[in-house]
Structure 1
Amino acid sequence: MIGVSKMSEIKKFGTFNLLPGKPVPYGATVIPNQGVNFSVYSLNAISCELVLYRKKEKDPFAIIPFPNEYKVGNVFNMIIQNLDYENIEYGYRMDGPRSHKEGHWFDPSKVLLDPYAKIVGGRDVWGEEPDWSDPYQHRGQIIADNCYNWEGDRQLNIPIEELIIYEMHVRGFTKHASSSVKNPGTYAGIIEKIPYLKKLGINCVELLPIFEFDEFIKIRGPIINISGDHMKNYWGYDPLAYFAPKGGYASSANGRQSAEFKDLVKALHQNGIEVILDVVFNHTGEGKETMPSVSFRGIDNKTFYLTNPDGSYRNYSGCYNTVNCNHPVVRKFIIDCLRYWVHEYHIDGFRFDLASIMCRDQDGTPLGNPPLVEAISYDPVLKNTKLIAEAWDAAGLYQVGGFPSYGRWSEWNGKYRDDLRRFLKGDSGFVEAMVYRIQGSPDLYKGRGTHASINFVTCHDGFTLMDLFSYFSKHNMANGENNMDGSNDNHSWNWGYEGPTDNPEIIKLRKKQIKNAISILMLSYGVPMILAGDEMGRTQNGNNNAYCQDNDISWINWNLLKSNNEIYNYFEKIIAFRKNNRILTEREHYETTNSLGSRYPQISFHGVKPWEYDNSSESKTLAVMFYDKQSDNNIIYMGMNMYWEKLEFTLPKLVNMDWYLFSDTSKAPPYDITEPGRELLLKNQNKINIDARSVVILIGKKQHQDKLIQFI
């Protein structure tokens, strides 16, 4: 019902009634019995038009100016009545100053995407060539929120220290024909693979960006791969619409992508698996000044981006532009976005790409108390939401261990990755570093808890785990950049041959190193994250920057489960071992006072001799023992020998307990690892031989008189 005062303000535009709107919320909002409220902010625009299209039609059927008298502050707003919103698409045209040197990019002929659009059309089918003559490629669509049946679903709120995070690409996870799913490369495809994730032991998936982006972004540039094909923006780290799930990841888009993604979240939650989104607030897909304006640049460039005095973009992201994160309006935009995904999609957490950019002032200066990070940390809607920072940017700001946490944030621990890689490779001087990394990096996160450290060996950005031990150098020629892209600082080794080999000894050593890596990762304090496909030995043929490879280089080949079952089996059992032993998920860093009155310290480090380890520069051995004082039947020992010869390790003596062997990475399957709870009693309780470049895991159990027990 419309009040009397509103009646007097109604304007007619063709068949539509126009009324003064609501300045907030921004975007297109369906108001029952009233119409659709359109609201868009611009500090510098002098006029704004709403452009309406029927779906799939190239030309608009209506262009409606926002009446000046409806404007509230810097917000253009109005309500449109009699609008068949389910069958239309919309955008805005803005006019204002046209001085690029002053940072203004207004163009009244350019139709712009609403930054708050909840659904975006134009890329409904992944990789389907659009009509390049259409000047409005990405079109806002309107949906009514709160129409989905969640069946009582909520955030799972699994304690973060209990997570096993699995970083995956929505499309790459099931696109390969070997996935055998009905809808490969989609949200629905992941649903079909949930039983696999549960069997592996995963309780959290971290999805590479799913905000709407343009997979054809590279077509605008000169980059062509060596096959002569246009490459795709495969990873998706160039968002255009932050409130809209990627249509091309849906089995049937055309507005259905929202419901299908909700189906995925609900199904994962029903199976005890949380969902973390990889979000990119440091830059947008509008790219450099010579690329087309899609949204933010044409709406209010000076507000949304960091610019130099000459109007050019500051580039702290390495992707041509940098979002002005700590501007009050942009800060509100980001928090609105996070709240929306938590409320509307029940997302459990966010991983913030190049999060250190969120710590830069509007002139680029690093801030000790960044307003955006503080606001996110204390936001009441985000109270139970997990927050993970990639604590660096592309301009040299490296904050691992120093990201402003406000008691809330965890960090991708790049030092854990690098130190573990170098220790496994046998580099000198990394024993002491591993002492810290296994403890949850107290040198970096003292007072913040072990859960501040997201531990990983590999992620989407870099080598896969198989490639880490198969290649000395990157092999990125397929990217079309003359192998100049991607990091050269990989700490990898090929063990005698570059790439695939038939040499059985090299193959054995590579598999052993994979097992060594996952063993140490799962027996470290902190939160472990693994890269999808590492559990089956996935390779990218040495490509350590497959951001543009929408093909077999990036897609998971599920046939590897059979050919590399040895690796998968080890992953599954070591993950189960971590989850079965509470001492490995300790939330706080070890303090000596924690062990007062206990039989053993909560965590202690050893070498070839118990209770002492060699931290000299040439040492390549280390052992760690974990003890749960709450349960005398929970004591774990991991011996690590990265030396090139077998060594004898003297074991710590146990009181009324015996050592049982859980795993030995030097042994061939099925003797490399046991089922948790079915470990084998060691005949020699005093010493154990650990093969060259191998890891052994033991568990202490109360002594038994059972004569039928298995020995090794």
Structure 2
Amino acid sequence: MDSVKRPFFAYLDAMNTITVLFPLPLKEPEPTSFTLENRQGGCGLSIEERLEIDGYLKFICTFSGTYAFQMEHWVLTGNGIKTDVQIGAVTRSKEFDWEFFYEGDDLGSFCKNGCTSFKVWAPTATNVKLKIYPQGENHFELVKMAREEKGVWSVNLDWDLELARYTYMVFINQEWREAVDPYAVAVTVNGTHGVVARLEKTAVSKVQMPPFSHPADAVIYETHIRDFTIHPEGGAVNKGLYKGAAETGTIGPDGKPTGLSHVKNLGATHIEFLPFNDFAGVDETNPGAEYNWGYNPLHFNVPEGSYSRNPDDPYARIRELKEMIESIHEAGIRVIMDVVYNHVYIREKSSFELLVPGYFFRYNEYGLPSNGTGVGNDFASERLMARKFILDSIRYWIREYNIDGFRFDLMGILDIKTMNEIRKECDSLKQGMVIIGEGWDLNTPLPQGEKATIRNQRKLPSIGQFNDRFRDVIKGSTFNLYERGYALGNGTYTEQAKEAIAGSIGLFSGHPLFSEPGQSVNYVESHDNHTLWDKLEACLGDSGDLLRRKCHRLATSLVLLSQGLPFLHSGQEFFRTKTGDGNSYKSPENINWLDWERRAAFPDNARYIKGMIEIRKSLPFFRMRSSEQIRNFISDLGLPHPLIGLHYKDERGQGEAILLVNPTVFIHHISLPEGEWRVLADDLHAGITPLRTISAHAKASIEPVSVMVLVNS
């Protein structure tokens, strides 16, 4: 079971319960009594149950009094055989959680006034030492740390240890373990050691943007820092780096804006970056050799070094990320951070597991680590110190890096209370922060009613969830590449598409997926799975490029005109392709990059999507704030199947709008309500400048596979 040879095994599985295991067959007579001892004395154990299981003789024993976690314990048999007590399932008990919950805000390392302090939470350790490498030195010193209340170990040194490397050595279950500080805010290259930092030396001037009013006002543009500028024709000087993502004025082969300037020109309000906290999968000393999306989290409070011009300098990545964020703010765009608190890269090697084995992760009914994430571990967000870590981390990113929102990877692994506490924390620090997440129902041992899933959206009223129903209705199943959705001509999805366009709040079906439109993140493409263009190639491979482009434009237009939060995958506006790669998380950069030559090849579509964003941002009809508004001011025109026609009214009686959708390959002529209708969008053009006017009693002609937006005010 471990490297220490033991005659039998004893585990502390609850605050007053020890499980004793003897391998069968027994080498000694079966014991009839046990004693629990430590250096201060001992007490008898009461045998509550005896059974044989999986090649072991198992005794479940109890004792009275309090277990002294700060010291080593042994179990002795009546025959005089002895073994040490190992920390077992006790760390997953409610009693342990309550006993050792630490509320302080001083975990980690701090350097000021010529002194340096260190604090780490390790309640099951019987000895902890700080392993410190002074700046510029290759030798280390071991400094004994003192145990305080709630299982916190600390040491205060009268030295200025700025930029010193450090780890913690913890003695648990008769073994020394070495761990990087989970609260580290700076690390060495490739994250092998924490680094003592003076964050004031990394400060940059923060751009104060006005509070964001409502999630429905957002237009989210998802990208990856390396993808964003690495293309050889993208015009960036610092390709693939924080510095590159911060560059403005870059142009592509057609002389048109690329990178940040392109996103600003497009009209997106938020850029959501795939994870940029420190992750595994890319060697920071040779970042060009490997590619990774970043869902292998190592250090949650440190920027990834492969995006820095100098990953050897612990301050460089911090400063460059801050400068990137403020450059984006100067462009009038906010930054959403993709966060991966649902799992770690390798559980056994993570600081969490090394410092407090068994505490930070969920276990199934067989006592094995659960795997709802599919990567071998599920973070136990419901445990008090695990929840605290997430909240402390969120608070840190907002305060130190001026983040404007968070996207929670596999949010369904996390619990509802944690997510609502995050919402509360964000609201207390900055108005109008956008919080969205993947509310998939995953097989993790958390009660169904406690999971932060779409099913429980009523318990998460201020958090957006990726609407997979919208995705699959509009484009077709994500997991069946050849299945076509409404925008690809499948009329069987007409009623569901109408419901999705109206915010998935049950306006037409009476079966709401969400309570409010601000909870619905509408999308047809993201970094995951095939791009929409690649799905179209599979579904409509024999239909020609023109039809594929029209279907693509229709699907993207519906994302932007539907109630809720529109979400665009970067490059979607110019038919992004990954040449059929449906899981490019570590594929070469020429699969993943934003191809600015492709943008130059399809300028009309990029211009059209820009116009659709203008329409959305200018007309409140397409970004209503509440389900009540939607029910009161959107009605169905009752067009023949599979056409969709929706009529919007302004709640102040100052205007009307109409959205017409034609997924067929035929022109249709639609009778309009009374009034003079100005056309803002048709199959070729979109924007806030009217294209033409349709007089009263005339019919609107809607071209094949297109939308039409009309206003009357």
In which range does the TM-score fall when normalised by the shorter chain?
0.7 to 0.9
**Which of 385, 388, 392 is the aligned partner of 1:329?**
385
Match in the other structure for 1:122: 189
Report the alpha carbon displacement of residue 556 of structure 1 after superposing the two structures with TM. 0.8
> Mind listing any 5+ residue stretches in structure 1 that lack a counterpart?
1-21, 99-106, 124-136, 218-228, 360-369, 472-492, 498-504, 595-601, 607-611, 666-671, 702-712
**Structure 1 equivalent of residue 677 of structure 2:** 659
Instruction: Letter of the 1:565 partner, please give it.
Output: P
Give 2:668's aligned residue. 647
Residue identity in the other structure for 1:265: I
Structure 1's 176 and 446: CA in aligned 2 closer, same or farther, altered over 3 A? Answer: closer
Q: Does the residue aligned with 2:150 lie in a helix, a strand or coil?
A: coil
Matched, 1:547 2:602: no
Closer/same/farther in 2, CA of residues 23 and 506 from structure 1, 3 Å limit: same
Q: 1:553 aligns to what SS in structure 2?
A: helix
Q: Percent identity, please.
A: 26
- Are positions 1:183 and 2:259 aligned together? no
Answer yes or no: is the 8 Å Cα contact 1:43–1:303 preserved in 2. no
Describe how 1:111-510 pairs up with structure 2 within 5 A.
111-123=178-190, 138-151=192-205, 153-154=207-208, 156-159=210-213, 160-192=215-247, 193-216=259-282, 232=290, 234-253=292-311, 254-255=313-314, 256-287=316-347, 289=348, 293-308=349-364, 311-359=367-415, 370-379=416-425, 381-382=428-429, 384=431, 385-395=433-443, 399-400=453-454, 402-403=456-457, 405-421=459-475, 422-443=485-506, 448-471=515-538, 493=539, 495-497=540-542, 506-510=544-548
Show CA shifts across 1:133-162 (max 9, x none): xxxx62211222344555453464312211
8 A contact 2:474–2:486 mirrored in 1:
yes
Q: Secondary structure in 1 aligned to 2:237?
A: coil
Instruction: Check 1:638–1:23 CA distance in 2 against 1; reply closer, same or farther (3 A cut).
Output: closer
Q: Which amino acid aligns with 1:643?
A: T
Letter in 2 for 1:165: I
CA contact (8 A) 2:131 2:168 kept: yes
Q: Is the Cα–Cα contact under 8 Å of residues 155 and 347 in structure 1 kept in the other structure?
A: no
**2:643 aligned with 1:621:** yes
- The 5 Å alignment of 1:14-53 reads 24-30=105-111, 32-53=112-133
- Matched residues in 2 for 1:146 and 1:445: separation? 48
Q: Displacement, 1:677?
A: 1.7
Q: 1:285 to 1:155 in 2, by over 3 A?
A: farther
Aligned residues: 574
More strand by share: 2
How far off is 1:578 after superposition? 1.2
Distance change in 2, residues 1:551/1:428 (3 Å): same
Cα drift, residue 73 of structure 1: 3.2
Q: Which amino acid aligns with 1:387?
A: I
Amino acid at match of 2:128: C
In the TM superposition, residue 95 of structure 1 has moved relative to its aligned partner by 1.4
Residues 83 and 570 (structure 1), Cα distance of their counterparts in 2 relative to 1, 3 Å cut: same
Paired amino acid for 2:166: Y
Partner Cα separation in structure 2 for residue 189 and residue 405 of structure 1? 40
Match of 2:634 among 595, 603, 620: 603
Q: Could you tell me whether the CA contact under 8 Å between 1:206 and 1:275 is conserved in 2?
A: yes
Partner deviation per Cα, 1:548-573 (whole Å, 9 max, x = no partner):
11411001111112111121111111
Closer, same or farther: CA 539–576 of 1 in aligned 2, 3 Å: same
Q: Deviations over 1:406-452 (max 9, x none)?
A: 43211111111111111112334322212221111113768843111
Structure 1 residue 653, shift from structure 2 partner: 2.3
Contact 1:155 1:346 in 2 (8 A): no
Letter in structure 1 aligned against 2:353 = R
Q: How far is the alpha carbon of 1:23 from its aligned partner? A: 6.7
Q: Which runs of 5+ in 2 are unaligned?
A: 1-102, 248-258, 476-484
**Aligned residue type for 1:51:** K
Over residues 652-705 of structure 1, what are the superposed CA-to-partner deviations in whole Å (9 max), with x where a residue is unaligned? 222xxx22333322xxxxxx105422322237852233333232222335xxxx
User: In structure 1, the residue corresponding to 2:406 is in which secondary structure?
Assistant: strand
Q: Give, in angstroms, the shift of residue 613 of structure 1.
A: 3.7
- TM (norm. structure 2) is 0.75
Distance in 2, Cα, partners of 1:273 & 1:392: 28
| SS in structure 2 at match of 1:374 | helix
For residue 685 of structure 2, the aligned residue among 658, 665, 673 is 673
If you compute each CA radius of gyration, which structure gives the higher value, 1 or 2? 2
Residue type at the aligned position of 2:294: G
Distance 1:306 1:438 in 2: 38
| Paired residues of 1:420 and 1:434 also in contact (CA < 8 A) | yes
Cα distance in 2 for partners of 1:311, 1:197 equals: 48
Residue 309 to residue 453, structure 1, CA distance change in 2 (3 Å): closer
Counterpart residue identity of residue 662, structure 1: L
- Seen in structure 2, the aligned counterparts of structure 1 residues 249 and 643 have a Cα distance that, compared at 3 Å, is same
The answer for the alignment partner of 1:101 in structure 2 is none
Paired residue type of 2:185: K
Which of residues 569, 574, 577 is equivalent to 2:615?
577
The more displaced of 204-213 and 436-445 is: 436-445
CA separation of 1:174 and 1:593: change in aligned 2, threshold 3 A: closer
Query: How far apart in 2 are the matches of 1:328 and 1:188?
Result: 38
Distance in 2 of aligned mates of 1:417 and 1:561: 24
Q: Following the alignment from structure 1 to structure 2, what is the Cα–Cα distance between the partners of residues 462 and 537?
A: 15
CA contact (8 A) 2:165 2:195 kept: yes
Report the Cα distance in structure 2 between the residues aligned to 1:559 and 1:354, rounded to whole angstroms. Answer: 33
